[in-house]
Structure 1
Amino acid sequence: MTRHIFFATCAPGVESLLYAEVRALGLNRPEQQVGGVRFEGTLEDCWKANLWLRTAVRVLLRLERFHAPDDDALYQAVLAVDWSEHLSPSGTLWVDAQCKDSNLDHSRYVAQRVKDGVVDRLRTEDGTRPDVQREDPDLRLHLHLYRDRATLALDTSGESLHKRGWRQAQGVAPLAETLAAAMVLASGWDRRSPLIDPFCGSGTLLVEAALIAGDMAPGVFRKRFGFEGWPGHDADAYAAVHAAAASAGEMPRKLRLMGFDSDGARAAEAQANLESAGLAHTCEIEVAQALEFAPRPGWNGWIVCNPPYGERMGEEKKLIPLYRDFGRLLRECCEGFSLALLSGNPDLARRLELPDFERRALQNGSIPCELILGRI
């Protein structure tokens, strides 16, 4: 099979975790870079990456690299590509673009010109041409422009890989599945000891922890990846790879996951999501305040959580007692536990009084966060 260069993207701060995943999956020549991990491989490797990588947001296949100092250079370079290998004239198309330190610095305009080049190359004599379609297009392209050097890539994933396919209940501002997986991996959890989420919400951390514990592929729940709409896609070969991933893994017999939420509706959402993923048997969900959980002495488990940040005006002040009391609970009742706590509010995080813990910068959507890591 033909070998390609791929780039698995991830959220800022997650690169080292994704690099470890790429290496563990046995993908060739991995290289950690800003914003993701480069690797080489075949289309089958690409399928495996989409199915198995927990912290990746997208897997891009490099198509062309070229100098694009101006509008015409960009358009002509895109027009020169034989797009018939990737899209039919009656197909649908979407283009994403990122621009930095370049003469062309308007990402929407750059995406438009890339679209123009593709459409003009494929336009038939009777006027048939690809249509622009944001949702579920046949082909999604990504153009990265840095210092006038363009990298044009095929988006093999389609929708972002955080959309696993198991979520039935959205919850209120749910944590992205890819970030939840990153938190569990960064915590150093041994996949056997109890793991507790005292602010479980719709259960994202618990589902991702169960998938990690069972060494189960997170992508097998999805209905479709981007590469499945490409001309010449080998559906039979992919079906075999998907079946192997779906049958892989084995849940530890004594796995104990626990989630608590003070809102009964949120707890019900967590239960629904666990059931949708076929993982309800791995976890206990209780309607309870975060300060009410009583860890048993000697458990030496893990607490992985994403407490509220107080994004709305006036909320931060109300959350100060929660953070202060939760920090006291950790120090007085959870000796020997390991902690991975995501906070988007440094002032509230200081109320935990955990000064010697590691702090790793992450991004939760548009919110700069720190992941607080350590042994209590």
Structure 2
Amino acid sequence: MEQNFKMIAKTLFGFEEILAKELRQLGAQNVEMGTRMVSFAGDKGFMYKANLALRTALKILKPIYQFRAFNEASLYKGIQGIDWSKYLSENQTFVVDVTLHSEHFNHSQFVALKAKDAIVDQFRDKFGKRPSIDKDFPDLRINVHIDRDQCSVSLDSSGDSLHHRGYKTATNIAPINEVLAAGMLLLSGWDGQGDFIDPMCGSGTILAEAAMIACNIPANINRKEFAFERWNDWDNDLFDQIMNSLMKKVKDFHYTITGYDKAPSAVMKAKDNIRNANLDEYVKISERNFFDTQKETRGPLHMVFNPPYGERLDIEMERFYREIGDTLKQSYPGTNAWFITANLEALKFVGLKPSRKIKLFNGKLEARLVKYEMYEGSKRTKFQNLGDNN
């Protein structure tokens, strides 16, 4: 039976807890949270499963070696302490990615170069031949992480960041990262047990992620390739088995998922992306201005959206955010409305008090995910009614 080994799932700031929950639900062992990462244990099949199914992971790394590095010589010696012929042949290609939090090393490119030298020198000494570098489609992607003087070397089992789901071929001016969209939805409590709307849907990312969560569809089912498919121990039959077991857990969805955008180009892109993800039976998108709409479903409505913040879209911020508040107040009773913004000043103009504020980052921009609870009738009436019923 395949042995369990330690792995690291990288994520975005603020998603550590939901990623840990995802891992436990998938069946991971020894789950421990760190900063922008969660460590866990599992076997090779679980590594495949984690890459396929995790919604809030950016990469799954498999650590293979750890040593102390405080200068160029100790870094070179440490990398040479690994038998690279276990992972790579002289005819294959590789690339080294580096992350640094160390006063001993300033430049990630320098560390990558030294690591590469150590690897190719080992092959030249053993075989008289060396593997080549390929930055775009390497057979092996190696991750070197230096924190102070601790150097961890891992194999990157994912390849491209896992936010590249494979369904998005068209984007609008300010697209949202798929992992950020999925994390926002999970933080908002979206579980597919009701109607959903994204009233400023752009290229449809939040809609696609909402539908996949609702139907329990693996996040990366549409992805063309994972890095582990080029590894020496790649097991195609095991991968198919894992894929089939995940697909058996896909479930029906009995509510509505709706998207609006006022830009015809965005609506077209969103429809294309939803079609690419094979989700068009669950998601309906139309060209409408949110500020001219009203709630069209009975019962509670779950709303998550990514309004423009003025970073890449030119809008009159004060008026725009005031209209968000007015539309929610007047036209969307019985709605839990969540949105993300990196324009913290603009929140003052919404004119409503958020019941939750969660700090996140959209790229390098510090942002807030905010929740507004729009009650049927007034809030006071709601609580009076609750009192009358007791």
Same fold (TM over 0.5): yes
SS at match of 1:221: coil
Aligned position for 1:373: 371
CA contact (8 A) 1:267 1:286 kept: yes
Deviation for aligned residue 1:236:
1.7
Aligned to 2:134: 133
1:298 to partner: Cα distance: 4.4
Q: Which residue does 1:350 correspond to in 2?
A: 348
The corresponding residue for 2:325 is 327
Tell me: CA distance 1:356–1:246, structure 2 relative to 1, closer, same or farther (3 Å).
closer
Q: Matched residues in 1 for 2:192 and 2:312: separation?
A: 36
What is the rounded CA distance, in whole Å, between the counterparts of 2:257 and 2:4 in structure 1? Answer: 41
TM-score (norm 2): 0.92
Bigger-Rg structure (1/2): 2
CA distance in 2, matches of 1:293, 1:308: 18
Preserved CA contact (<8 Å) 1:144 1:150: yes
CA offsets per residue over residues 319-356 of structure 1, 9 Å max, x none? 32111111111122223211220101101122112334
Cα deviation, residue 297, structure 1: 6.9
**For residues 304 and 293 of structure 2, what CA distance do their matches in structure 1 show?**
14
Deviation at 1:361, TM superposition (A): 1.1
- Give the ranges of 4+ consecutive aligned residues of structure 1 lying more than 6 Å apart after TM superposition: none
Per mean C-alpha deviation after superposition, the further-off stretch among 215-224 and 99-108 is 99-108
Q: Which SS does the other structure have where 2:57 is aligned?
A: coil
Contact 2:295 2:333 in 1 (8 A): no
For 2:73 and 2:367, locate their aligned partners in 1 and report how far apart those are by CA, in whole Å.
40
Which residue number corresponds to residue 305 of structure 2? 305
Report Cα offsets for 1:228-269 as digits up to 9, x if no partner: 1011212222222123324430121x2201101111111011
Compared CA separation, residues 125 and 15, structure 1 to 2 (3 A): closer
Q: Is the 8 A contact 1:215 1:250 kept in 2?
A: yes
Per-residue CA deviation, residues 203-238 of structure 1 (Å, 9 max, x unaligned), is: 000000000000110112111111110112122222
TM-superposed deviation, 1:50: 0.3
- 2:149 equivalent in structure 1: 148
Identify the residue that residue 3 of structure 2 maps to in structure 1.
2
Verify the 8 A CA contact 1:191 1:212 in the aligned structure 2: yes
| Residue 220 (structure 2) aligns with | 219
Q: Secondary structure at the match of 1:360?
A: strand
Aligned equivalent of 1:274: 274
Code of the aligned partner of 2:373: R
Specify the alignment match of 1:283 in structure 2.
283
Q: Which structure 1 segments of 5+ residues have no match?
A: none
The aligned counterpart of 1:173 is 174
CA drift at 1:24: 0.9
Do the aligned residues in 2 keep the contact of 1:102 with 1:145 (CA within 8 Å)?
A: no
Q: How many residues align?
A: 373
Distance (whole Å) between structure 2 residues aligned to residue 196 and residue 85 of structure 1? 50
Alpha-carbon distance in 2 for matches of 1:304, 1:97: 35
Give the corresponding residue for 1:88: 89
Give the equivalent residue in structure 2 for 1:116. 117
- The yes-or-no answer on 1:71 pairing with 2:72 is yes
Q: Is the 8 A contact 1:123 1:130 kept in 2?
A: no
Contact 1:217 1:248 in 2 (8 A): no
2:229 is paired with a residue of what secondary structure? helix
Give the corresponding residue for 1:337: 335
SS at 1:218 equivalent: coil
Aligned to 1:35: 36
Counterpart secondary structure, 2:370:
strand
Give the Cα separation in 2 of the matches to 1:117 and 1:374: 55
Aligned to 1:161: 162
| Paired amino acid for 1:106 | H
| Structure-1 separation of matches of 2:308 and 2:114 | 42
Cα distance, 1:261–1:32 mapped onto 2, change above 3 Å: same
Q: Once the 2 structures are TM-superposed, how far is the Cα of residue 144 of structure 1 from its aligned partner?
A: 1.2
- Could you tell me which residue of structure 2 aligns to residue 363 of structure 1? 361
Which is worse superposed, 125-134 or 28-37? 125-134
Identity of aligned residues (%): 33
Gaps of 5+ in 2: 375-390
Structure 1 window deviating more from structure 2 (324-333 vs 235-244): it is: 235-244
Q: Is contact 1:196-1:304 (8 Å) kept?
A: yes
User: d(CA) in 2 for partners of 1:304 and 1:125?
Assistant: 57
For 1:284, give the aligned amino acid. K
> Given the two structures, how large is their TM-score scaled by the length of structure 1?
0.95
